[in-house]
Amino acid sequence: MPPDDLRPNAPPSGAQRREEYVYVDVEGRPVLRVVRLSGGGSKRFWQEHYENGNWETGAVPEDERPLYHLPEVLAQVRDGGTVYVVEGEKDVHTLQAMGVVATTNSGGAGRWLPHHTRSLAGADVVVIADKDEAGLSHALKVARELREAGANVEVFEARIGNDVSDHVGAGLGLGDLVLVPAGIQDDFTRYIEFLDGLDPTLPTEIKFQMARVLLDEAEGDQVPWTSEGPARRGDDDQLFEALRAWRREQASTQGVPAFIVFYDRTLWDLVDRRPSNHQQLLGVWGIGPVKLERHGDALLALLWHDD
């Protein structure tokens, strides 16, 4: 039996419609509508499909469910820009109000489909996870599938609250998002085991932090990537800091968070590889043709200015 929010049943009597989110195809034609309802102190979502000029109750087949704001997303991918992937239409609109391109899949966590991945193949993507087990699991699955399709992906979460809307509502910006450590991304099952073993009465925020500490200790305190980057590397620090300073200037000029220019992981890969030409730059994590054209010469100058 399909989940409640996908069953083609009539809406409950007395429910009040609060939000409607219309999904369109690549040509901008309406395909499905997600309706958010409230009533009796609860909320519920259901889907409707567009047929013969009317909205009818019931979801469309899986292979016809587009990403939210699909035309804008595809245009951003073509232009080499960053696309944010979140869980839920409300979060998409929160990010849209901040001037970035964002998307989600219909139906919530666990409903990401193969053709969604194909829409973002090779793109620069920031996935923002909801801070619960289902949300983080969903975000990591999306990130894994996108990476397999050639996308450059990092996974972040809200610093305050459960999702990016809570985060922004607390007065924080995109640059305040917290990078989900690679230790969790690489060993999510073990992380959940630690999480499940904690006192269930603890606040979610505290449980998540405690589980991360336990995972860090189990791995010998070797979590290679945090919101501050990896452990310091001695003689490489000076070059890394020069790259960070250059990135800050670029971010300030463009009016975007620093990680939109390049992730810390990209900067460290530049330090490790120290490429000497454009072809070698393409082998660096997070650098594709668009960013190569945009920043390639400047990066080579920074990497080799003392030589």
Mean pLDDT of 82-109: 95
| Co-location of 106 and 155 in the same domain | yes
Q: Any idea what the CATH number is for the domain that residue 79 is in?
A: 3.40.1360.10
Domains of the chain: total: 4
Q: Any idea what the CATH number is for the domain that residue 262 is in?
A: 1.10.150.80
Q: Calculate what percentage of the chain has a pLDDT beyond 90.
A: 43
State the DSSP string of 119-159: HTTT-EEEEEE-SSHHHHHHHHHHHHHHHHTT-EEEEEE-S
Whether the pLDDT of residue 109 is over 80: the answer is yes
Q: Which residues does residue 56 pair with via DSSP β-bridges, in sequence order?
A: 49
What mean pLDDT value characterizes the chain? Answer: 83
**Residue 271 domain boundaries:** 234-304
55-83 pLDDT per residue, tens: 998 888 999 999 999 999 999 999 999 99
pLDDT at 5: 41
Whether the pLDDT of residue 3 is over 60: the answer is no
pLDDT at 256: 76
276-293 pLDDT per residue, tens: 888 899 888 888 888 888
Of 36, 207, 213, 218, which is closest to residue 132 (Cα–Cα)?
Answer: 207
pLDDT at 72: 97
pLDDT at 7: 37
Q: Specify which of 6-15, 33-42, 87-96, 281-290 reaches the highest per-range mean pLDDT.
A: 87-96
Contact 180, 205 (CB under 8 A): no
Whether the pLDDT of residue 133 is over 90: the answer is no
| Co-location of 172 and 239 in the same domain | no
pTM recorded for the entire structure: 0.71
Least confident of 42-51, 98-107, 208-217, 256-265: 208-217
| Co-location of 172 and 76 in the same domain | yes
Going by their DSSP bridges, the two strands 82-85 and 54-57 should be labelled as unpaired
pLDDT at 205: 65
| Co-location of 175 and 242 in the same domain | no
State the DSSP string of 184-214: HHH-HHHHHHHHHTS-TTS-HHHHHHHHHHH
| Co-location of 84 and 29 in the same domain | no
| Co-location of 82 and 176 in the same domain | yes
Q: Calculate what percentage of the chain has a pLDDT beyond 70.
A: 83
| Co-location of 94 and 143 in the same domain | yes
| Co-location of 160 and 251 in the same domain | no
Of 189, 191, 210, 213, which is closest to residue 201 (Cα–Cα)?
Answer: 210
| Co-location of 192 and 162 in the same domain | no
pLDDT at 197: 75
CA–CA separation, 198 and 211 (whole Å): 8
Name the band, by pLDDT with cuts 50, 70 and 90, for residue 19: confident
For residue 65, give both structure tokens. 């469910």
3-state secondary structure of 67: coil
Better-scored residue on pLDDT, 280 or 229: 280
| Co-location of 11 and 32 in the same domain | yes
For residue 22, give both structure tokens. 């219309």
